[in-house]
Amino acid sequence: MARQMTGARMVVQALKDQGVDTVFGYPGGAVLPIYDEIFQQNDIQHILVRHEQGAVHAAEGYARSTGKPGVVLVTSGPGATNAVTGLADALLDSIPIVVLTGQVPTFLIGTDGFQEADTVGITRPCTKHNWLVKETDRLPGILHEAFHVATAGRPGPVLVDIPKDVQFATGTYTAPVKGGSKRYQPQVKGDMTEINELVEALESAKKPIFYTGGGVINSGGAASQLLRELVEATGAPITSTLMGLGAYPGTGKNWLGMLGMHGLYEANMAMHDCDLLIAVGARFDDRITGRTDAFSPHSVKAHIDIDPSSINKVIRVDIPIVGDVAHVLEDMLKVWKSRGRKMNREALTKWWAQIDKWRAVDCLQFRNSDKIIKPQHALQRLEALTKDRDRYITTEVGQHQMWAAQYLTFDEPKRWMTSGGLGTMGYGFPASIGVQMAHRDALVINVAGEASWMMNMQELGTAMQFRLPVKQFILNNERLGMVRQWQQLLHGERYSSSWSESLPDFVKLAEAFGAKGIQCSDPADLDDAIMEMVNHDGPVVFDCLVEKHENCFPMIPSGEPHNKMLLGDAAATDAIQGAGAALV
């Protein structure tokens, strides 16, 4: 139904028609008409963040924990440029985000007007697509197309730049059309010839492995269910990237744990030695492959991905399947069942016996202490005390992030929000706010390091204002732990700028915002302190003082293949040498 209304009202109407209930944003001159419309309605709640980067990460947390697109509204110029890190983060992790930016009026564009920036130019390489709307009549169509592009195919961030005169002018509103924009319709069904070939390979494989990633989670709940069914039925082992944790349960019997640079020994060894590698919604990131010319050298490789450009980008594969994970897995299961559910069971038993030997190495063991809290121990206790709750975990970036991936268990998808591709310090706190907005009664914990957390700690104000009881579990080692670890491994223990000088008193900091602060330094007090955090009805900043020089193991040093893992400190100092030293 076509109706006349202002561009600003169109924005709110389009958000409603797209089913949006929450917008994260920050007002400014170029978006005032839209904020005026938001003020005059009650269907959409606006969450006022304290920095535009926080708005985008919050929207990412909202999106990843719900499967719905996250929506951000910010002003022109600095509002838009502050959102750039979040856009780049969402692009690398394939998170559906719709960012609406104000822009100076069309007649000022190009004059270096106040708070003018070339927003579509700046964000072009860090969005899936973006638009500058120059006519109010085109606004509703573009907004609907923006939601379609953000969510269809491989999800990603989009941005719509709306000049202020376009917001004020009146035009004709049009409702969304079913099926979305005709010009963007990615292929979702996989090619049956390739699927048949993959099933044949699976039936005869002696050492198969599933290597799954965030694509399984993005594909939706059905994809995780189908993956579980396929893994259970075939009896093949499964590992996952950081992004894919939870698609297959962390307590499942075929689960090898995360793979990659800080992945589990058994997962990486199995990747190296397998004879059939089935990549599902994963993209062979350099954190996963290690040295590419020695990556899984004896395997036939199949790759299921909705993005054709992911296939053969890094690792050349033998069976490429372009399609949506859920569609392809469904077809794969059907074909495998119709061909008689065959597997090389005898070989598979041997394969598991080998895997069990690797498991016996117990690569996550660490030397615990009763005097000082080890970060691994802190996470083990957090896991033990919260695993039975309706729990969501976000993280910042660094050692704590890897330990969280190693020591926490995820049995369901969309429970684990972490900046995987871009590695954005400062992601976790605002993300936890977005998650809590979507799941008001859930226990939302941000596992953080003190350095990362301080990058967006202003969002404590947001958490307080909107009564979001997010728990900030800070593993405080007074160091940029991962940087320090690499300096030990690569730069002769010259710890250049990797300590956190002049840290605040986190308890007082929390109290200054009206939140609760808890500090814990004695392993004996840890359980009680964690329970105090969990049971407090409000935001908590938990300052967990941990061992300052703990290193994150196991680890594949850069430039090495999967079977050259470091298991502990003895081999660590100056472990990265040669060509690997140039890698990050």
Partner 1 sequence: MNALQIKKGSTKHSAYNLRPTFSDVEEAHTLAVLVDNEAGVLARVIGLFSGRGYNIDSLTVAEVDHTGHLSRITIVTRGTPQVIEQIKAQLGRIVPVHRVHDLTVEGPAVERELALLKVAGAGDKRVEALRLADIFRASVVDSTLDSFVFEITGAPEKIDAFADLMRPLGLIEMARTGVAALSRGSDAYRQGG
3-class DSSP assignment, residue 485 = helix
CA–CA separation, 253 and 233 (whole Å): 12
Burial pattern 250-278, b for ≥16 Cβ within 10 A else e, equals beeebbbbbbbbbbbbbbbbbbbbbbbbb
Report yes or no: 545 and 507 within 8 Å, Cβ to Cβ. Answer: no
In the range 493-552, which residues lie near partner 1 by CB under 8 A? none
458 is catalytic: no
Q: Does 129 bind partner 1 (CB under 8 A)?
A: yes
Q: Does 389 bind partner 1 (CB under 8 A)?
A: no
Place of tokens 């106040």: 114
Q: Does 206 bind partner 1 (CB under 8 A)?
A: yes
CA–CA separation, 85 and 405 (whole Å): 23
Report yes or no: 371 and 545 within 8 Å, Cβ to Cβ. Answer: no
Question: Phi-psi category of 579—alpha, beta or left, where left has phi over 0 and alpha has psi -120 to 50?
Answer: alpha
Report yes or no: 267 and 239 within 8 Å, Cβ to Cβ. Answer: yes
Binding mask 145-164 for partner 1 (x = CB under 8 A): ----x---xx----------
Which of residues 6, 85, 289, 299 is near partner 1 by CB under 8 A? 299
**331 or 396, CB closer to partner 1?**
331
Q: Does 312 bind partner 1 (CB under 8 A)?
A: yes
Q: Does 194 bind partner 1 (CB under 8 A)?
A: yes
Q: Does 270 bind partner 1 (CB under 8 A)?
A: no
CA–CA separation, 442 and 60 (whole Å): 17
Helices (H) and strands (E) in the chain, counts: 23, 20
Q: Which one of the listed residues 5, 115, 200, 564 is annotated catalytic? A: 115
Q: Does 125 bind partner 1 (CB under 8 A)?
A: yes
450 is catalytic: no
Q: Which one of the listed residues 13, 18, 24, 52 is annotated catalytic? A: 52
CA–CA separation, 260 and 279 (whole Å): 14
- Applying CB under 8 A, what is the total number of residues that bind partner 1? 40
Q: Does 205 bind partner 1 (CB under 8 A)?
A: yes
Q: Residue 170, Cβ neighbours under 10 Å: how many? A: 13
What would the 3-class secondary structure string for 374-389 be? CHHHHHHHHHHHHCCC
Q: Does 292 bind partner 1 (CB under 8 A)?
A: no
164 is catalytic: yes
Stretch near partner 1 under the rule CB under 8 A, chosen from 100-108, 236-244, 297-305, 568-576: 297-305
Q: Does 339 bind partner 1 (CB under 8 A)?
A: no
Q: Which one of the listed residues 18, 60, 116, 164 is annotated catalytic? A: 164
Q: Does 110 bind partner 1 (CB under 8 A)?
A: no
Q: Does 120 bind partner 1 (CB under 8 A)?
A: yes
Stretch near partner 1 under the rule CB under 8 A, chosen from 72-80, 241-249, 320-328, 547-555: 320-328
Angle at 405 (CA atoms; ends 506, 579), nearest 5 degrees? 105
Q: Does 422 bind partner 1 (CB under 8 A)?
A: no
CA–CA separation, 59 and 32 (whole Å): 21
CA–CA separation, 443 and 535 (whole Å): 10
Q: Does 345 bind partner 1 (CB under 8 A)?
A: no
Closest separation in Å from C-beta 519 to partner 1 = 45
Which of residues 23, 319, 457, 533 is near partner 1 by CB under 8 A? 319
52 is catalytic: yes
The strands making up 238-240's β-sheet, listed across from edge to edge, are 255-258, 238-240, 208-212, 276-280, 300-305, 319-322
**51 or 144, CB closer to partner 1?**
144
**7 or 190, CB closer to partner 1?**
190
Q: Does 300 bind partner 1 (CB under 8 A)?
A: yes
Which of residues 2, 42, 183, 346 is near partner 1 by CB under 8 A? 183
Q: Which one of the listed residues 10, 482, 533, 555 is annotated catalytic? A: 482
Which of residues 16, 253, 298, 341 is near partner 1 by CB under 8 A? 298
**32 or 583, CB closer to partner 1?**
583
Distance between alpha carbon 343 and the CA centroid of its chain, in Å?
34
CA–CA separation, 462 and 22 (whole Å): 14
Stretch near partner 1 under the rule CB under 8 A, chosen from 122-130, 221-229, 254-262, 385-393: 122-130
Which of residues 92, 322, 470, 533 is near partner 1 by CB under 8 A? 322
Report yes or no: 248 and 227 within 8 Å, Cβ to Cβ. Answer: yes
Phi, psi of 108 (to 5 degrees): -100, -10
114 is catalytic: yes
Closest separation in Å from C-beta 71 to partner 1 = 19
Q: Does 16 bind partner 1 (CB under 8 A)?
A: no
Report yes or no: 437 and 22 within 8 Å, Cβ to Cβ. Answer: yes
Question: Rounded to whole angstroms, what are the CA distances from 520 to 158, 514, 551?
Answer: 42, 19, 21
**129 or 548, CB closer to partner 1?**
129
Binding mask 434-473 for partner 1 (x = CB under 8 A): ----------------------------------------
Give alpha helix (H) positions in 280-344: 286-289, 325-338
Q: Does 204 bind partner 1 (CB under 8 A)?
A: yes
Q: Residue 361, Cβ neighbours under 10 Å: how many? A: 15
- Which residues of the chain form contacts with partner 1 (CB under 8 A)? 120-121, 124-125, 128-130, 132, 149, 153-154, 183-184, 187, 191, 193-194, 197, 201, 204-206, 275-276, 298-300, 307-309, 311-313, 316-322
Give the residue numbers marked as catalytic: 52, 114-115, 164, 482
